[in-house]
Amino acid sequence: MRRAHTVEQVRAAEADLMAQLPDGTLMQRAANGLAVAISNFLGGTYGARVVLLIGSGDNGGDALYAGARLARRGAQVIAVLLSDHAHKEGLTALQTAGGRVGAPDDIPTADVVVDGIVGIGGRPGLRPEALAAVTLAADHHIPIVAVDIPSGVDVDSGETPETHVHAALTVTFGTHKICHLVDPAASACGPVHLVDIGLELPEAPVQSLQSHDVRALYPIPDTHSDKYSRGVLGLIAGSTQYPGAAVIATTGALAGPLGMLRYVGPDAVANAVLAVHPEVVVGEGRVQAWAVGSGLSSEALDRDLFDRVTQQQDVPVVVDAGGIAALNPAHTGYVVVTPHAGELSTLIDVPREEIEARRLHYARYVAEDRQFVVLLKGATTVVAAPDGSAYVNPIATPWLATAGSGDVLAGLLGSLLAGGVPEFEAAAVAAYLHAAAGQLAATDGPVTAMKVAAALPEVTRQLLA
């Protein structure tokens, strides 16, 4: 599991650890890890030209001590002081090691610029002198390594309301921060390298599943399993206008762990489903979960059936696409909704651009307000639970932005629910597998939704092997 903690949690853990260690130990641990990461980023240290952008906080101290280590290994290290309150001991260490204080004019000839401007206690945005230095580096295509976070992003929300650094690499300490996982800030971090400095931390409010976590959650049949015990999914999807959505959602569901799928819908659409998947059973019956909404239009919606399925409390329901806007505003609980930003915008009457800028905030807001699990689709998918916990999946390929891709996800998620995975975890596992299948299918370029669905069994086989 990749865990991301809040600033408050990190500060408390640092205070606890510093009380047990000699003064400066924690900063030296961070500086050593930072120096190694910068050296690896450069592919070597001797003769490299490193410019440090130094603010007034401890991140500036980390950068200065790291710079001293690099200078002792033969790098030319120059500190550009953006504050009158730079870390004194760190600056002395740098100068003693052969580094020097310079000016912004040194930036264009650097091999790398190190962002030690502000740390996790900083506010969004950059002061004019810092912005000028960062802009100069960008104009000359000098890569920036951020210390802990890219300066200027909002650490606890992943939002970027003001100007900020765009890093080629971020080196963080102790734990990931929320901005490392949640867009739009995550896109400004580049790859994130975690340096262990010995922090003892509580449960993280934001997490990202790794392969072993998905493997542990995936329902695997045993010798006593049958098609009913593996899970039966009811699918209400597709219409005469969008019959393909039912076929695609069915393909995604059958690539999951369920034992049987029941399709409920128009005869013409049912025939299209059966033509591709003759194992599907048409008609209502007992199920362990429902997936509804893919390819449904308001004209094609059977209101009585939809309300009966979505408002029951004995089985979980995935509500996708056209079904999201059709949900009864008063209905809460036992539902997983899978909107993209536009669909969430319609649901809560907030501009799409605002939702894209505050993805974690709005996913959590709807989850708490409606007592749903919310899977907000996007380049970085956010899964939010009513208690504020969140999973983030950052591995999707842009090729997944194709018609029908969400239908695959809805079917797969329904399959996982039918297999007994709890709603919050099922949504996170589905997002992970869907993104991994997209990556596999896109190996040779553009993909279709059916190619993504077809890649799911191989992705799952690799995961469980």
The reply to whether 380 sits in an annotated binding site is yes
CB 34 within 8 A of CB 62: yes
Q: Is 231 known to sit in a ligand binding site?
A: no
396 is in an annotated binding site: no
Across the range 195-206, mean pLDDT stands at: 97
- Is position 125 annotated in a ligand binding site? yes
Residue ranges of the chain assigned to CATH 3.40.1190.20: 211-464
Q: What is the average pLDDT score of the chain?
A: 95
- Sign of torsion, CA 328 256 295 398? positive
Determine if residue 59 is labeled as part of a ligand binding site: yes
Report helix angle 449-464 to 243-254, nearest 10: 10
Is 116 labelled as part of a ligand binding site? Answer: no
Query: Given pLDDT bands bounded at 50, 70 and 90, which one contains residue 326?
Result: confident
Residue 121 is labelled as binding a ligand: yes
Cβ neighbors of 92 (< 8 A, separation 6 or more) are none
Among 360, 363, 359, which Cα is nearest to 336's? Answer: 363
Residue in 50, 60, 59 with CA at minimum distance from that of residue 91: 60
Percent residues over pLDDT 70 in the chain: 99
- pLDDT above 80 for 301: no
Nearest-CA neighbor of 221 among 261, 256, 178, 186? 256
Percent with pLDDT over 90 in the chain? 87
pLDDT band at 325 (very low <50, low <70, confident <90, very high): confident
* Average confidence (pLDDT) over 159-174: 98
pLDDT tier at 115 (50, 70, 90 boundaries)? Answer: very high
* 387 belongs to an annotated ligand binding site: no
> Which position has the higher pLDDT, 108 or 444?
108
Task: Spell out the CATH class of 2-208.
Answer: alpha beta
Residues 6+ away with beta carbon under 8 Å from 304 = none
Q: Quickly state the pLDDT bin for 27 (edges 50, 70, 90).
A: very high
Residues 375-380: what's their mean pLDDT? Answer: 92
Cis preceding linkage at 394, omega within 30 = no
* pLDDT single digits (tens) 85-105: 999 999 999 999 999 999 999
Q: Is the pLDDT of residue 311 over 90?
A: no
Fold of domain 211-464: UDP-N-acetylmuramoyl-L-alanine:D-glutamate ligase (3.40.1190)
| Residue 215 annotated as part of some ligand binding site | no
What pTM does this model have? 0.92
- Could you read off the pLDDT of 251-266 as tens digits, one per residue? 999 999 999 999 999 9
* Residue 58 marked as a ligand binder: yes
Beta strand 381-384 pairing with 373-376: antiparallel
119 marked ligand binding residue: yes
377 is in an annotated binding site: yes
Q: Is 295 annotated as a binding residue?
A: yes
Q: List, by residue range, all CATH 3.40.50.10260 domains of the chain.
A: 2-208
Q: Binding site annotation covers 43?
A: no
Q: Is the pLDDT reported for residue 164 higher than 90?
A: yes
With bands split at pLDDT 50, 70 and 90, how would you rate the model's confidence at 290?
A: very high
Give the confidence band of 397 by pLDDT, cuts at 50, 70, 90.
confident
**Contact present, 230 and 419 (Cβ < 8 Å):** yes
